[in-house]
Amino acid sequence: MKSAHVRVAARFFPPDVVAVKAIACELASNLGLPFSRLHVPDIQSEVLSRGLVASISGTTIWRWLSQDAIKPWTHRSWIFPRDPDFAAKAGRVLDLYGREFEGQPLGADDFVISADEKTSIQARIPCHSTTPAGPGRPMRVEHEYERGGSLAYIAAWDVHRGKLFGQLSPTTGIAPSDALVDQVMSQEPYRSARRVFWVLDNGSSHRGAPSIQRLQAAHANLIPVHLPIHASWLNQIEIYFSILQPKVLTPPRADSLNGLAADIVGFQAGYEVLAKPFRWKFTRDDLNQLLQRLPGSTLAQAAA
Query: Over 70: is that where the pLDDT of 297 sits?
Result: no
What domains, with CATH codes, occur in the chain? 4-67 (no CATH), 86-293 (3.30.420.10)
Complete DSSP assignment for 202-260: --GGG-HHHHHHHHHHH-TTEEEEEPPTT-GGG-THHHHHHHHIIIIISS---SSHHHH
Supply the pLDDT for residue 143. Answer: 87
Please report the pLDDT score of residue 103 as a whole number. 94
pLDDT of residue 163: 97
pLDDT at residue 237, rounded to an integer: 97
CA-CA distance, 11 to 191, in Å (whole number)?
A: 78
Model pLDDT for residues 108-120, shown as the tens digit of each residue: 999 999 999 999 9
Contact between 261 and 168 under an 8 Å Cβ cutoff? The reply is yes
7 pLDDT higher than 50: no
What confidence tens digit (pLDDT) does each residue in 152-177 have? 999 999 999 999 999 999 999 999 99
Identity of residue 52? L
Whether 9 has a pLDDT exceeding 50, the answer reads: no
**CA–CA separation, 35 and 23 (whole Å):** 14
Residue 15: pLDDT band (50, 70, 90) is low
At 293, the pLDDT band (50, 70, 90 cuts) reads: confident
Separation between Cα atoms, residue 53 and residue 11, nearest integer Å: 8
Q: d(Cα 271, Cα 243) in Å, to the nearest integer?
A: 10
pLDDT over 90 (residue 208): no
pLDDT reported for residue 10: 43
In sequence order, the 6+-apart residues with CB closer than 8 A to the CB of 106 are 96, 99, 100, 112, 195
Residues 81 and 67: beta-carbon distance below 8 Å: no
271 has a pLDDT exceeding 70: yes
Q: How would you classify the pairing of strands 104-105 and 110-126?
A: unpaired
More confident residue, 260 or 292: 260
SS3 11: helix
Confidence of residue 5 (pLDDT cuts 50, 70, 90): very low
Over residues 249-263, the mean pLDDT reads: 92
Which DSSP string corresponds to 175-197?
HHHHHHHHHHHTSTTTTT-SEEE
Q: How far apart are CA 222 and CA 177, in angstroms?
A: 14
Mean pLDDT value across the chain: 89
Predicted model pTM = 0.82
Taking 3-state DSSP, the helix, strand and coil percentages for the chain, each rounded to the nearest 5, stand at 40, 20, 40
> Any idea of the CA torsion for 87, 91, 93, 95, to the nearest 10 degrees?
180
Kind plus residue range of the DSSP H or E element containing 17: helix 17-24
Other beta carbons within 10 angstroms of residue 51's beta carbon come to 11
Closest CA to 172 of 188, 157, 152, 189: 152
The whole-number average pLDDT for the span 101-109 is: 96
C-alpha separations of 148 from 129, 140, 246, 251, 256 in Å: 15, 21, 20, 15, 6
